[in-house]
Amino acid sequence: MGCDVSTSTGATMSEQVKIVDGKPVCFLYDEPLPSKVVVCGRCDGKGVSTAYLGAYTMEEMDEQGPEFFEDYMSGVYDRQCDKCNGLRVTAVILWDELTKEQEADLESDYIDEQIARNERLMGC
């Protein structure tokens, strides 16, 4: 043993979110999927995020000085969220409403990914 395989969240490479009529929709191979709009989890629905800076401890904040802290808190370092592109929402697939074909596509896609993952782990 000794191989620590982290489990996937189920997101696949070919599945992506695109904006249609100002609303996020899940797509698979350029085909829209039944999806629903949810608040973006990365930026908590703010549309901007300082996640790229990493998390600062209070100690590190002190080292940067009070001006940095003020700027940080007032959003000077906020960047457009790279997950929702500042839209504050994103889309998730409604699995219950997929057609059989869509479901099969997504599942085979997922299995392909699993196989690729296992191949990468060979020899460990």
Here's the x/- map for Zn ion, 85-124, by CB under 5 A: it reads as: ----------------------------------------
Q: Name the residue nearer to Zn ion (CB basis): 84 or 98.
A: 84
* Radius of gyration for the alpha carbons in the chain, expressed in angstroms and rounded: 19
Q: Which amino acid is at 10?
A: G
Select from 33, 40, 93, 98 the one that contacts Zn ion (CB under 5 A).
40
Q: Name the residue nearer to Zn ion (CB basis): 39 or 111.
A: 39
User: Residue 119: phi, psi to the nearest 5?
Assistant: -65, -35
Q: Name the residue nearer to Zn ion (CB basis): 81 or 93.
A: 81
In eight-state DSSP terms, residue 56 is P
Of 82, 80, 81, 85, nearest in space to 23 by CA: 85
Separation CA 94–CA 102 (nearest Å): 11
Asked whether the beta carbons of 47 and 87 are under 8 A apart, the reply is yes
- List beta partners, residue 26: 17
Here's the x/- map for Zn ion, 42-61, by CB under 5 A: it reads as: xx------------------
Piece in contact with Zn ion (CB under 5 A), picked from 30-38, 39-47, 57-65, 91-99: 39-47
Q: Name the residue nearer to Zn ion (CB basis): 46 or 110.
A: 46
Interacting residues with Zn ion (CB under 5 A): 40, 42-43, 81, 83-84
